[in-house]
Amino acid sequence: MEYFSPKVKKGIESKSKTISRRGFVLGLAKVAFFGIITSRLAYLQLFKSSEFKQLSDRNRYREIKEVPERGIIYDFKNRIIASNNQVYLLSIFPSEIKNLNEFFYSLRPYIDFDILEIKRFKREIYRHKKTKKHQAYIIDKKLPWKVISNINYNLSNISYVQPIVSFERTYSHPKEFAHIVGYVGEPNKKDLESISKKFLNIPSLKIGKNGIEKKFEDLIIGSPGKSVIEINAFGRQLKQISYNQGIKGKNFNSTLDSELQVFANKTLGNESGSVIVMTTRGEIRCCTSSPSFDANLFTYGINSFKYKKYLRNEKKPLSNKALSSQYPPGSTLKMLVAISAMENGIVNSNFKIRCKESTEYFGQKYHCWKEKGHGVVDMKKAIKESCDIYFYEVARLLGVDRMYKTALKFGLGQYVLDNFLEEKKGVFPNTKWKKKYIGQPWYLGETIIAGIGQGYIQTTPIQLCKMIAQIANGGFKIKPSLNANDNFELGEKIIENDVHLKIIKDSLDIATNEWKGTSYNSRIKGDLKFCGKTGTSQVRRISQRQRELDIKNKDLPWKFRDHSLFTGYGPVSNPEYAISVIIDHGGSGSSKAAPIAKKVMQKVFELYYPKGTNA
């Protein structure tokens, strides 16, 4: 049976194919569209979930790092030098606050802000938003406990704030210890590059900027705490999620003596200079510079007017002169020159010359400080009366390179303390040094003036104190330190011949305790005596015309006057303490430095030797 099949028209067949093709493309597009959405959702879920969770948590939770409590700094008798005050502050997240005026208005029932304070805080908050957008900002207004407890009680009704407990560094003697103990301050960009990551993003963090605070920062600073709180959409605290209490820094026991430090600083008065006292084993009991500054001002925030005033002061109150000021040692170097000459077999104690006020080498005249000279002098008399002519000749015979080797043994031209930011190294030259740094050969005249501590030689007060301490202790090397927990045993012997040592110590004794000695007027009467060597270091060349006019040091402008130096030790019979005093532009060593050294050593005897005790 035949069925009838209608014939499809040609136009209808073409149209059907077109519709079929479009449907396929549309279906493909739908698959692609939903595929992209699905893959995007999978990507967000699998690879971005932690990031979005973090963003969500940032809106919900607040992490506040807390400043750790720094360790207390004690003197060697366990008296507090630096401690901490507990303070109550408010922490905010500026990025959450849309209107600062409304925010400060909302705090009026709890805190009494004046207009100037609000203006200052607003300026600081705007700056904070630009540089530390997601970090907490501390409103630097110390609040009493009554206010902070009221805020804490009403915290669910106050937006955007979190009360915190912080610590503020305070110094019991802010001026007397300012240079050696130092102070704390906010870390700058350079500090942030070297600081441990755990201390980043801690609002109001302050770190050691100099002195002991800087040197022993890792020991003293401690470890920060952290609290996490949950907030609602209005920035109000709902609950505390977690709290990790910080770890207090370790206490630091120094070798310093508060009573001696305060006395020495007071004795310096308005002079520009320094006093260092250390035991003959290297325990630093006193290290003070004058004029000083108030360390508490730097800790709490010094204003620009006071800071510029410090900077403009020609006596440089911000400088730690005991460690960083460098001076020609002058006549205080003569003991070392004598030791070097005897140890090298160049001269002995009986070597004599005639001092006639001046001498001449190859057409160049060299003067002694004393008019008409000292006459015939041997080594003891030359040290006692500080004869320049004698040491010109000893230095000429000795040579600068042998002098340099002896100076290195005693620690000149080297750091005394390890990694102490402010300390300078000083310079003790030799022939190679001049060729390397100046590009010129060494001349005989430079050796001659090196014999009296002038020329290229630069020393720090702490180097000179170490030098004299090593003479006082019997010629043994020491390693001075401010840390009471260090080892203070005597090191290697650096003066080989005890006969040479006795000659030097006898010379220093008569320089102070016998008539015509340069520090005779500063002697201490009684059983406990001290002795030492004065020094006067020139800061300018004296022309022949000036010598003829007999211009006095006191008649010159302050900055052109000679420096006044003294180094010594006591008690003479059993040396246990060494001292170094330098007065900037103070004139002769006997006029300024030696009298101050006398007063400080009298205080040393009073503190460490009971009345009537013979040394």
pLDDT, one tens digit per residue, over 437-473 is 999 999 999 999 999 999 999 999 999 999 999 999 9
Task: Give the predicted TM-score (pTM) of the model.
Answer: 0.85
Other beta carbons less than 10 A from residue 301's beta carbon: 9
Q: Which long-range contacts (CB under 8 A, 24 or more apart) does 20-24 make?
A: none
**Domain positions in the chain:** 61-253, 258-608
How high is the pLDDT of residue 241?
73
Q: Which residue has the higher pLDDT, 299 or 375?
A: 375
* Mean predicted confidence (pLDDT) in 152-171: 83
Rounded Cα distance, 261 and 410, in Å? 25
pLDDT, one tens digit per residue, over 393-426 is 999 999 999 999 999 999 999 999 988 989 999 9
> Quick check: bond before 429 cis, omega within 30?
no
Q: Indicate if the alpha-carbon torsion angle 274, 277, 281, 284 is positive or negative.
A: negative
How high is the pLDDT of residue 100?
86
User: Going by C-beta distance under 8 Å and a sequence separation of 6 or more, which residues neighbour residue 455?
Assistant: 328, 429, 446, 449
pLDDT, one tens digit per residue, over 44-53 is 676 666 655 5
Say yes or no to pLDDT of 474 above 50.
yes
CB 471 within 8 A of CB 501: yes
- Confidence category of residue 546, pLDDT binned at 50, 70, 90: low
- Closest to 388 measured CA to CA, from 410, 411, 363, 367: 367
pLDDT, one tens digit per residue, over 281-335 is 999 999 999 999 999 998 877 888 888 999 999 999 999 999 999 999 999 999 9
Say yes or no to pLDDT of 552 above 70.
no
**Structure tokens that stand for 417 in this block:** 């303390």
**Structure tokens that stand for 590 in this block:** 């006997």
* Mean predicted confidence (pLDDT) in 150-159: 81
Helix (H) or strand (E) holding 308: helix 304-312
What percentage of the chain has pLDDT greater than the value 70? 88
How high is the pLDDT of residue 201?
75
* CATH 3.90.1310.10 matches 61-253: yes
Q: What is the mean pLDDT of the chain?
A: 87
- The CATH superfamily holding the domain 258-608 is DD-peptidase/beta-lactamase superfamily (3.40.710.10)
Q: What size, in residues, is the chain?
A: 615
Residue 4 class from Cβ within 10 Å (0-12 exposed, 13-18 middle, 19+ buried)? exposed
How high is the pLDDT of residue 615?
46
Say yes or no to pLDDT of 373 above 80.
yes
CA angle 71, 292, 319 (to 5 degrees): 90
How high is the pLDDT of residue 12?
57
Considering only CA atoms, give the Rg of the chain: 37
How high is the pLDDT of residue 357?
85
Q: Which residue has the higher pLDDT, 292 or 362?
A: 292
Rounded Cα distance, 399 and 422, in Å? 32
* Mean predicted confidence (pLDDT) in 554-560: 75
User: Going by C-beta distance under 8 Å and a sequence separation of 6 or more, which residues neighbour residue 185?
Assistant: 206, 207, 209, 298, 299
Strands of the 237-244 sheet, one edge to the other = 61-66, 225-231, 237-244
